Amino acid sequence: MRDRARIVRLPASLLLLLAACGGRDPASGRLGWYVFDERSGSFEEAARRCSDASAGAYRIEIVPLPADADQQREQLIRRLAAGDPDIDIMGMDVIWTAEFAAAGWILPWQEEPAAAVSAGRLEGPLRSARYRDRLWAVPFTTNAQILWYRADRIPEPPATWDAMIETAQELREGGRIAVQGERYEGLTVFFASLLASAGGRVLEEGAGVVQEEEGSASEGAFAVPRDAQGAALEGADSGVALSPQPTREALRILHRLATSSAADPGLDRAREDQARIAFESGDASFMVNYTFVWASARQNAPEVAEHMAWARWPAVLPDRPSRVTVGGINLGVSAHSPHPEEAFEAAACLASEENQRIAAARAGLPPTTAALYDEPAVRETFPFADLLRETLRDAVQRPQTPLYADVSLAIARVLHPLGDLDPGAGALRLREAVARALRSQGLF
Amino acid sequence: MGPRSTEERLGWLLSAPATLVTLAVAAYPILYAVWLSLFRYDLRFPDQRAFIGLQNYLTVLTSPLWWESLMNTVVITGGSVSVELVLGMALAILMHRALFARRTLRASILVPYGIITVVSALAWKFAFDPVTGFVNPLLNVEHAWLGERWSAFLVIILTEIWKTTPFMALLLLAGLTLVPPELLDAALVDGASRRQRFFRITLPLMKPAILVALLFRTLDAFRVFDTVFIQTRGAQGTESVSVVGYQTLITRLNLGLGSAVSVLIFLCVVGIALAFIGGFGTELARGEERG
């Protein structure tokens, strides 16, 4: 009799424990900010400052996400598709705006607050937060790649990719160019920047836009690309631009780089960090990478940092300045949030100038408000502030389509490994793959 | 109607609760996956869900990516299981014949199996790293192991072998202990050599255990995911079918297509199990009657 009671007690107490663990009180005024774990603590600081400034209306709690953007997206979309009410504010990569907006996972800003938070922001980051003429997120930080080189080995930075490859091949030591060649988003970024610098684009203007009216049930397509008047674009390549000339030029450079002696042996597995390490170890005299490498080199490889110089991302055509894709973090409000008004307020506060200053100083994340680039403190963190602002002014967006994840996967798959790329055939395969991706067809 | 059938009925009744729970937990997801695979269903556009019958299967089966990943999976499975069988047998014999520190030996051999797959995959990834790993200096080569298809396969298969040979060895050890030592002694007296004793007596008597070990390991190896995902993320043409399923289902949130991939994997696994049991079922039954 006693044994039976004991047997019942244990599972019962476990059940009670489980019940106590779950469920948050929705009225507590807690806002969940899902963003990657920023290790210098600048995001924590921003959350704390905005919570204090709200005078008790809300309290922002950071829920850390992985450092890798793809993994952040995976963590978020699962919860968003399931309607998780725990997410209030999200740190969104700039490429997710179209996808999240079309899926109804984020809320658009109203006209007045949108105008308020857009004031003074750089054009590139701002456009990344807009989709179909509405503002869906507030730009917080931004990023773009520039060219880093060893001033002690190269007197004058090369103006074009071809020139850079030739220069690197002639160097006796450290004659490598560190780029990102792994099959991931970074490769799509690389290709998109080269394509834009060659004057091309991946998608036609306005293509890849999801229509709300259900008219394509029989076609097996999710996003039927339509033109400005709303008529469906016919043809296998509807929506895909990728004009032959710029595409072939971009692929030619990728292929040339990968097959030259300037290519890193680990090119096919190289991401931003591998490129940084190659530069810091002295193996590479050139590197295209984001601005975080500046602080990293000062800390990890001071002998290299003292000869580290910067220049604009190399051009593809000699008479046309380069254009790179813009990166960064936008703050969006979840559509399933139980406190949307507070979340909008909090997001606007988090992206304010002071918090951008803190993020710039501590985490090395470039701000999105143009005026900050003139401030001495920011210019001290980013000695290349003018170059960065100029680059961001000319920056392009990656294809703004709800199916961007599929498009990016398709591009990375066709291009990787860079050494096997044939410019002519590759351009054709690229067009087919992107067209398929826009119709959400095919197994990638 | 005798005592035997009432006993049988009692047996069924007693095991009914467990069977029902297992069916609910295991069968429901499988049936739901089959149901989902008949739809065009992308979680990003849940309103555009539509019934399309077997079209998803058509898409998968006509995709070169599926067949390539199937071949990759077969390569990884075949490569790892065959080596594991031989190594596992060697280890089993070692553990069986150990003269001293038997328990320590058995415990230490199990250590790789006790390590989490992700950790072991990462450990070997770092070991084969061209810049910071120890393999390149050890072998005196300059090779980006995970940068090329076949060397990446080698690393993946090696990691799998390192991780699960202990499991094979354990299963084979169990079979080894069931071989009656009197038979071996009698053969020794009759003048049989060591090789003859092993191949003519030990192995045939161990067949049921070998088949069970092979069945388990092949089923597991076919569904390999962690190692491939951690080491190459499926790049360099090393994608296994599970990685394809993951990318379709979780990265692209395409429930219809992803469920079709999952169901196809399930059918392959069932096929493997049937092949083993059907082809060698008589062996297993004979083993049961004797054991």
Q: Say if the Cβ atoms of B146 and A265 lie within 8 Å.
A: no
Sheet with A30-36, side-by-side order of all strands:
A59-65, A30-36, A89-93, A327-333, A138-143
Q: Say if the Cβ atoms of A222 and B60 lie within 8 Å.
A: no
Smallest CA–CA distance, residue A388 to chain B, in Å, is: 31
Mutate to test the interface with A, among B39, B40, B43, B44 (most CBs of A within 10 A): B44
Smallest CA–CA distance, residue A264 to chain B, in Å, is: 10
**Average pLDDT value for chain A:** 85
Give the one of B48, B63, B130 whose C-beta lies nearest to A443's C-beta. Answer: B63
CB-CB contact of B144 with A182 (8 Å):
no
Interface of B with A in 212-241 (CB under 8 A): 233, 235-236
Give the one of B45, B52, B244 whose C-beta lies nearest to A443's C-beta. Answer: B244
Task: Write down the pLDDT at residue A265.
Answer: 81
Count of other CB atoms within 10 angstroms of residue B289: 6
CA separation for the pair A80, A365 (Å, rounded): 27
Instruction: State mean pLDDT over A375-386.
Output: 91
pLDDT above 80 for A4: no
pLDDT band at residue A333 using 50, 70 and 90 as cut-offs: very high
pLDDT in tens, A45-70: 999 999 999 888 999 999 999 988 88
Residue B192 DSSP code: -
Query: Which of A206-220, A250-264, B213-227 has the lowest average pLDDT?
Result: A206-220
Position with higher pLDDT, A442 vs B61: B61
pLDDT band at residue A266 using 50, 70 and 90 as cut-offs: confident
Smallest CA–CA distance, residue A319 to chain B, in Å, is: 36
Q: Cβ of B131 under 8 Å from any chain A Cβ?
A: yes
Residue B40 DSSP code: E
Interhelix angle for A244-259 vs A423-438, to 10°?
120
Q: Say if the Cβ atoms of B42 and A222 lie within 8 Å.
A: yes
pLDDT in tens, B231-282: 988 877 789 999 999 988 988 888 999 999 999 999 999 999 998 888 766 6
Q: Say if the Cβ atoms of A183 and B233 lie within 8 Å.
A: yes
Position with higher pLDDT, B75 vs B148: B75
B140 sits in which H/E element: none
* CA nearest neighbour of A203 among A396, A394, A400, A395: A400
Task: Write down the pLDDT at residue B283.
Answer: 56
Cα torsion A309, A311, A315, A319: sign: negative
pLDDT in tens, A341-368: 999 999 999 999 999 999 998 888 999 9
Task: Write down the pLDDT at residue B120.
Answer: 94
Q: Say if the Cβ atoms of B65 and A265 lie within 8 Å.
A: no
Instruction: State mean pLDDT over B84-94.
Output: 92
Residue B254 DSSP code: B
A73 to chain B: nearest residue by CA?
B251
Interhelix angle for B255-290 vs B28-36, to 10°?
140
Interhelix angle for A340-350 vs A111-118, to 10°?
10
In percent, how much of chain A has pLDDT > 90?
A: 51
Task: Write down the pLDDT at residue B31.
Answer: 94
pLDDT band at residue B49 using 50, 70 and 90 as cut-offs: confident
Phi/psi at B228 (5° precision) = -60, -45
Task: Write down the pLDDT at residue A24.
Answer: 52
What is the identity of the amino acid at B161?
Answer: I
pLDDT band at residue A388 using 50, 70 and 90 as cut-offs: very high
pLDDT above 70 for B69: yes
* CA nearest neighbour of A69 among A36, A102, A44: A36
Task: Tell me the CA end-to-end span of chain A in Å, nearest whole number.
Answer: 61
pLDDT band at residue A13 using 50, 70 and 90 as cut-offs: low
CA separation for the pair B151, B80 (Å, rounded): 14
In percent, how much of chain B has pLDDT > 90?
A: 46
Task: Write down the pLDDT at residue B194.
Answer: 83
Task: Write down the pLDDT at residue A221.
Answer: 34
Task: Write down the pLDDT at residue B101.
Answer: 80
pLDDT in tens, A270-282: 888 889 988 998 8
pLDDT above 90 for A236: no
Task: Write down the pLDDT at residue A437.
Answer: 84
Q: Say if the Cβ atoms of A220 and B47 lie within 8 Å.
A: no
**Average pLDDT value for chain B:** 88
Smallest CA–CA distance, residue A214 to chain B, in Å, is: 8
CA atoms within 13 A on the CB side of A156: 4
Contacts of B50 in chain A (CB under 8 A): 217
Count of other CB atoms within 10 angstroms of residue B226: 18
Smallest CA–CA distance, residue A376 to chain B, in Å, is: 39
Q: Say if the Cβ atoms of B233 and A402 lie within 8 Å.
A: no
Complex ipTM tops 0.90: no
Smallest CA–CA distance, residue A249 to chain B, in Å, is: 24
Contacts of A102 in chain B (CB under 8 A): 44-45
Count of other CB atoms within 10 angstroms of residue A68: 13
Q: Say if the Cβ atoms of A99 and B44 lie within 8 Å.
A: yes
Q: Say if the Cβ atoms of A443 and B147 lie within 8 Å.
A: no
Q: Say if the Cβ atoms of B146 and A269 lie within 8 Å.
A: yes
Smallest CA–CA distance, residue A111 to chain B, in Å, is: 26
Instruction: State mean pLDDT over A313-323.
Output: 92
Smallest CA–CA distance, residue B20 to chain A, in Å, is: 21
Task: Write down the pLDDT at residue B131.
Answer: 77
pLDDT in tens, B100-151: 787 888 888 889 999 999 999 999 999 998 878 899 888 888 887 887 889 9
CA separation for the pair B83, B163 (Å, rounded): 12
pLDDT above 90 for A331: yes
Task: Write down the pLDDT at residue A192.
Answer: 95
Q: Cβ of B146 under 8 Å from any chain A Cβ?
A: yes
Residues of A with CB under 8 A from a CB of B: 70, 74, 77-78, 81, 99, 102-103, 182-184, 210, 214, 217, 220, 222, 265-269, 277, 281, 402, 405-406, 409, 416-417, 440-444
Q: Cβ of B263 under 8 Å from any chain A Cβ?
A: no
CA separation for the pair B200, B192 (Å, rounded): 10
Give the one of B46, B63, B131 whose C-beta lies nearest to A266's C-beta. Answer: B131
CA separation for the pair A425, B198 (Å, rounded): 57
pLDDT in tens, A111-166: 998 999 999 999 889 999 999 889 999 999 999 999 999 998 899 999 999 999 99
Q: Cis peptide before A402, with omega less than 30 degrees from 0?
A: no
pLDDT in tens, A201-226: 988 876 555 443 333 333 333 344 44
CA separation for the pair B23, B27 (Å, rounded): 5
B125 to chain A: nearest residue by CA?
A269
